[in-house]
Structure 1
Amino acid sequence: MGCKVLCPSVALLAYLMICQHVRAQCTQPSFTSRNVILTAEHLSTPSFSDGSTVTFECVIGHKPVDLKASKSVTCQGNQWTNLELNCARKSCGSLADFLNGRYEMTGNLFGDTAKPVCVKGYMLAGQETTRTCRDQGWDGRDPVCEPVKCSAPPVIENGQLEDEPFESYDYLQAVSYRCNKGLNLIGQSTLHCSEDGTFKPDPPKCFGGCPAPTIPNAKRIGGKSPPYKLGNFVEYKCEDGYVMKGESYILCSANGWDPEPPRCIAQCTQPSFTSRNVILTAEHLSTPSFSDGSTVTFECVIGHKPVDLKASKSVTCQGNQWTNLELNCARKSCGSLADFLNGRYEMTGNLFGDTAKPVCVKGYMLAGQETTRTCRDQGWDGRDPVCEPVKCSAPPAIENGQLENEPLESYDYSQAVSYRCNKGLNLIGQSTLHCSEDGTFKPDPPKCFGGCPAPTILNAKRIDGQSPPYKLGNFVKYKCDDCYKMTGEDYIVCRANGWDPVPPRCIEDSSMPTWAKAMLGIGVVAGVVGLLCLVYFKCFKKRSDHEKVEKKDEDGL
């Protein structure tokens, strides 16, 4: 009984102690910005328990800024106390100049460098060695600067020194060159022993001209023929079937041809075998030309397949011609489309690109828009349409007429309707229409015709035909008045759609000369005056006769 109570209590206490131990610890501390590092005894410990103390020291090449600053920190819970220690780079001091030389320094603190430089006329003995500020001070030692000496100057082709060469030359000592007879000296004739122990500038060249270029499959199109002197130029062009690599225009310079002579390389233009229904593979499509020996690959164009699966798909450029292509492709087959419910297909064929137009049997029509199916790369596109029974909506109303029977909301295929006109009007067209296979009534509805309106034509007179009203088939013929001409036909007939052709117009004849119009005006005025005179004369004569009668009567009395 005692164990049952004691054992769980001990376990719980141990668990709490472990949890407390896990919670109260610090990870390895780091203060890199202070240029410090843990001392060796703590470096390999990843974590520290609460209350642990560790010590830091300056990293190599550094020293404490404050010698009294504490170098230790303590773990409190899971945090470290602040570190007082802060370190800065050690100073190595400045390096003094040495015999015939000095130092070019980046600074005098740990890690800085000092590059030795000799004064003019002297050079470092042995290899140049840069000195570095280390933990214990500057490494290495002062170098030795010895007087500059140049060995014998270089020999030049087709030329020599003006004087016999020495074994060695002092700093700034000069030598001069000359060329063999008939050659040009290119560059500086005089060189000096420079501070790096070599003669400068580069030695001159003795130049006699450029060799005649040999460029197979090319022809000269500009410049002179050989020999070629300094400054001469030549321009080349490749023969047909070859492409130029390099520049076409070259100049004879001191270093030879500039730029170097070009080459004419055999090439093939981009191959095409359209009659075989093939196309270049993607990696070659953007390349316009190919060098001799190039090989390209073809594939069937979309919707086609190889006639012979074993045929080679590649061709090779030989010179400027392609080898023959074995690959030949034919259109893929989509197979025939079966008839569908109440319909069939009218097909142009069953190969790639062919089409199949759906057609419903009589009395049925396509539901929705007609969609022609096409044989594509993967087979026939689309799907079978739906043919539904033909239905016609109510037939159209006509002016001045009506249906024989009351209209229905819809009509079946071939169902008929009949029209009649109002009393006294003629029915023009078919009186009976049928619901057709496209869902409309056919033929066009009739018209109810009552006649044509009387034409109103200014400056014209009717010379033939009857007077109004005008019934179907009546005609009228017109003539324009003097000084007017007719636009249109003079003979018109009353048709179901009105006058045929449309009534003409009489417009003033602008072709009559001005003097003729003036004379016509004068003639009209003269005619009016004459008419007035005639009336007056008749009235005067009647009055005179009347007076004579009255006088005779008076004499008789």
Structure 2
Amino acid sequence: MTTTQTTQWNLIRIMLCSTLAATIYSSCPKPPSLTYAVPNAENENYNEGDTVNYSCLAGYKSIPSISNIATCDADGNWSKFSEAFCLKLDCHIPDFLQNGKVEFLDTVIGSSASYKCVQGYKLFGSDTRYCLADEKWNGTVPTCNRVSCGSPGEVENGVVEMVDDMFQSKAFFSCNSGYMLVGNPYRECLEEGIWSGSIPTCQRSCPDPPVPKYAQIIEMPDTQYFPVQIIIVYRCLPGYKYDPFISPIIQCLEGYAWSNINEFCKKVICGEPERIKNGNILITGTDFGSIAIYSCSKGYNLTGNSVRKCTADSVWGGSPPACQAI
């Protein structure tokens, strides 16, 4: 090989090496995946000047004003994006619910919102809504309507009164004259939309038995009404005693009225208390509970109790005192 040929061959070798070095130096690795986007396609090799388009992941949408293209530069690196070119899809806060509440963890695509009503209200509509790709919550917002219990029922020979049939309302039952209520006097509208308890009844009955000021009922019969022939037995209050000739019993008669009640208890009388020598006595009365107060004349001292009381046994309690000379 001549000197000229050798020189030309060396030049060619230098040019080939330079080109190969430049090619190796300017190649880029595979383009990176982003948290919000991925490359549209991937090649085996990327050289200086090659570009890659990115597509937004599900749940994101592109921002037209921001480039989604990465370029392989002379240093073998992919150009950096100045800012995110994909915006996260968001349905924003779901509609709130009157007389209820909404619970959700996020507002992005695929999120769900659960609706519940407060106590006493019933949900109408779906209890769950989802954030869709069009950035809207699907379906319509449910509603919470106050629970209604409807009619509490009718009572024969009586009436029912109430303001309305909604949750926590009460229906009050009462009977016509000559009848007595058996059962609960009211029913309440519950959260489940039903009335509490059961419908009471109105039974033909004598009215509540009379209670005179001098006596009390020994034991009220175990019943909520007073049918014909039922009897009521009385006992005298302290300070009164039975009249042996008058019955302390009354009975419900056929016309649903009580038999006559006579004064079968007489007030206890103690009479006049004993007087004392060389002394005086002041009394408030001679019947049960009365008091007698003793005192001595001038020059005498009282020995014993100065006060005595008329007891339920028709006697003055204790003994009369004495007045002794000083």
Give the TM bin, normalised by the shorter chain.
0.3 to 0.5
Normalising by structure 2, report the TM-score. Answer: 0.39
Asked which structure has the greater CA Rg, the reply is 1
Q: Relative contact order: is structure 1 or structure 2 higher (C-alpha 8 Å, sep ≥ 6)?
A: 2
Q: How does the TM-score come out when normalised to structure 1?
A: 0.25
Choose between structure 1 and 2: higher helix proportion.
1
